[in-house]
Amino acid sequence: MTLGLSLGIYSLFVEITNILKLFPLLAQTQYEIELLNLTNTQKQKVRLVSLQMSSQLNQAQDLIKYQQTLISQTPSSTPPVEANKQECEGEKILSALICPGDELNAQENQLYELINQYRLQKGLSSIPLSPSLNRVANRHLQDLQSNEKLYNRNGRDWRFGWSDCPYDGNNPSTFSCMWAAPQRLKTAYSGKGYELLCGGKGKITPQEALRCWQKSNSNHNVILNGGEWQNYQWNAIGIAIDKGYANLWFGQEFDRTTQTSNPPKPLPRPGRIW
């Protein structure tokens, strides 16, 4: 329904309401006339007028209800609440509740399907999608590209860190920078997060991302639970693709925001990723 029609309905509603305000006065006048010493014929005429007024009142009330229903069904001109890009820039990327890209797009869904198809071909189960780890994956790519100047580049594999948390593949004391990312971003995910990252400049497709990880023995083992990852069972995965980067996050606990009742598996011995 258009705004003009809605205003027209509202105007009609106001007019009818004003008319109804006169009915009590007319009713009172009719009552006072009946109190007079009128002839029977005159009284009958007054009663007839009263019945007609009562019928018109009921019709008017029904019309008002109908108009109110139409007004209540008029679509709001206010757009739905969406992620505010201005609230997801710079350091706010790490604290904003909702940011563009937190939900999977078509490319990311395709990569998710490719990962699970590859695991099924190898006799492994599919991995449930985690909204919380999707959020971590998206925020890391946004942080890496928007806040790269804030990264500490002195450590090995420094890109696995964050602008507020340096990572060094040679220093185990920094591994929690990756593992505790879901909690630092205040997601609902309670377990550790393990990350795979591929890409750089340009663009990357889902197929290219999977081939990138397949070429790396350590990354390949993470996806297929091979080598030192054979005792790990992935029950959650998050995915993000942005410009030239593709990002995977794995976790052993189930995401509480998904509709699963399976209990989380106990954590096995710690292991390195890279």
Rounded average pLDDT per 10-residue block, the chain, 274 residues: 47 53 49 52 59 60 52 39 66 86 95 98 97 96 84 76 83 90 95 93 93 96 97 97 95 83 39 36
Q: Are residues 114 and 229 in the same domain?
A: yes
End position of a domain, from candidates 72, 104, 120: 72
Residue 257 domain flag: no
Backbone angles phi and psi of 53, in degrees to 5: -65, -40
**Is residue 180, in this structure, part of any structural domain at all?**
yes
Using only C-alpha atoms, the chain has a radius of gyration, in whole angstroms, of 34
Tell me, yes or no, whether 269 lies in a domain. Answer: no
Please name every residue paired with 98 in a beta bridge, in sequence order, or none if there are none.
Answer: none
Do 155 and 243 fall into the same domain? Answer: yes
Q: What is the pLDDT of residue 33?
A: 45
For residue 248, the cross-strand partners are 196, 239
Report pLDDT for 148: 77
Q: Are both 237 and 182 inside the same structural domain?
A: yes
Q: How far is Cα 175 from Cα 171, in angstroms, rounded to an integer? A: 7
Does the residue 264 lie in any domain?
Answer: no
Based on the fold, state whether residues 58 and 126 are members of the same structural domain. no
Q: Is 272 a domain residue?
A: no
Q: Is residue 266 part of a domain?
A: no
pLDDT of residue 41: 63
Residues 107 and 36 in one domain: no
**Per-residue pLDDT tens over the stretch 210-250:** 999 999 999 999 999 999 999 999 999 999 999 899 999 99
Tokens 């209540």 locate to 72
pLDDT score at 266? 40
Asked whether residue 50 is assigned to any structural domain, the reply reads: yes
Residues 142 and 232 in one domain: yes
What's the total number of domains in the chain?
Answer: 2
What one-character DSSP code corresponds to residue 259?
A: S
And the tokens for 112? 């998710």
Type of residue at 23: F
Please give the order of strands across the beta sheet that includes 194-199: 194-199, 245-251, 236-242
Cα 141 to Cα 200: distance, rounded to the nearest angstrom: 11
- Rounded to 5°, the CA angle 119-125-131 comes to 90
pLDDT at 81: 42
Residue identified by tokens 């009330």 is: 61
User: So what's the pLDDT on residue 271?
Assistant: 37
| Judgement on whether residues 32 and 140 belong to the same structural domain of the protein | no
* 57 belongs to a structural domain: yes
Whether residues 47 and 183 share a domain: the answer is no
A 10 A CB-CB count for 48 gives 10
Beta bridge partners of 241: 246
Q: Are 110 and 193 contained in the same domain?
A: yes
Distance of alpha carbon 5 from alpha carbon 1, whole angstroms: 7
Among 19, 38, 72, the domain-final residue is 72
Provide the residue range defining the domain that includes 50: 3-72
